[in-house]
Amino acid sequence: MNDQSTRRQFVTSSIATSALTGMAAAQSTSKPKIIDAWGHVSLPRFMSAEEYIALLNANGAEAAIVGTAATCPDLMELSRAAVKYPGRLRSIGMAMGRTPEEKLACISAQMDCGFTGIRLPADLVAKQPQLLDVVGKASGTPYIEGNQGYRVAARVLLDFLDRYPNCVVCGTHFAGPTDPGIFSREELVGRLFGHPRFLVIFSRQGYMDQDPLKIWSRAVVELTGWDRILYGSEFPVALWRDETYQSTQGWIDQAGLKPTSDERTIFVTVQVDLSGGGVMLRDG
């Protein structure tokens, strides 16, 4: 991005470039339709709903689960995306407010409006686990972010999964990369990553220190299998790291994870079902 370009201009022009690259790839192969488990729809910093749909179309993607961030908490555009494109975009909200009561009311309003789930820091749910109940009662999906394998929140997340058997928990950005020894040192962390309804989204890899991330990723795949690993592009943020939509999918090869053809298909397509209100595991 040069000094004369605004962020919006950069995103818009980059979408066009990505579209040309993705369309060529989509036309040259018979790849299955992709489901993108994490992207950003919020203005003016990220993408509009229509821009994200164009990105999906250009790259042979079926649907996406999109959210916002503290740097641009545009719940209006996220709500519009979910209403206008219910078959292609599902929206993840976020906890906003200065007090625990305000955060609780904010999350309740978002779930009442039909959001698929809420993006929640691990340390917040450890301090305020009742936030998870609001999401669970609406059959929604917590999108958890944090570090150290969510050690601080492992107990409350396991309790959530026990209380709400129809819900899953998604861990964003590799679910808190750290020393894989934590799976044996911390029983609750090992149990969380071993839970059949705890899903790990591989996203934001271009931002992280590659060697430790590769070690962590191999350990996670060994523990979860590919059935519980989701692909997330984190577009348009990935653009700011000089990544493309295609390269975010290809990182698993660069990392030496060596998925089989079937496992590669599982990674980008078959884990999540957007036919209901939340993020659910598909059958088969």
The tens digit of pLDDT for each residue in 155-191 reads 999 999 999 999 999 999 999 999 999 999 999 999 9
Tell me the C-alpha distance between 149 and 130, whole Å.
21
**What are the beta bridge partners of residue 226?**
none
Tell me the C-alpha distance between 220 and 189, whole Å.
12
Residue 62: predicted pLDDT: 92
3-state class (DSSP) for residue 66: strand
Residue 266: predicted pLDDT: 87
Nearest to 205 by CA among 170, 231, 226: 231
3-state class (DSSP) for residue 137: helix
pLDDT tens digit at each of 284 positions of the chain: 555 555 556 555 555 555 544 444 444 455 668 999 999 999 999 999 999 999 999 999 999 999 999 999 999 999 999 999 998 999 999 999 999 999 999 999 999 999 999 999 999 999 999 999 999 999 999 999 999 999 999 999 999 999 999 999 999 999 999 999 999 999 999 999 999 999 999 999 999 999 999 999 999 999 999 999 999 999 999 999 999 999 999 999 999 999 999 999 889 885 566 555 566 555 44
Handedness of CA 7, 244, 75, 177 (dihedral sign): negative
Residue 275: predicted pLDDT: 54
Tell me the C-alpha distance between 128 and 103, whole Å.
10
Tell me the C-alpha distance between 38 and 247, whole Å.
15
Tell me the C-alpha distance between 218 and 179, whole Å.
12
In the chain, the amino acid numbered 36 is: D
Question: Which residues, 6+ apart, have CB-to-CB distance to 268 below 8 Å?
Answer: 32, 34, 35, 231, 249
Assigned token pair, 83: 């209403």
Tell me the C-alpha distance between 6 and 136, whole Å.
40
**Residue carrying the six token digits 């993108």:** 36
Tell me the C-alpha distance between 63 and 280, whole Å.
14
Tell me the C-alpha distance between 165 and 41, whole Å.
29
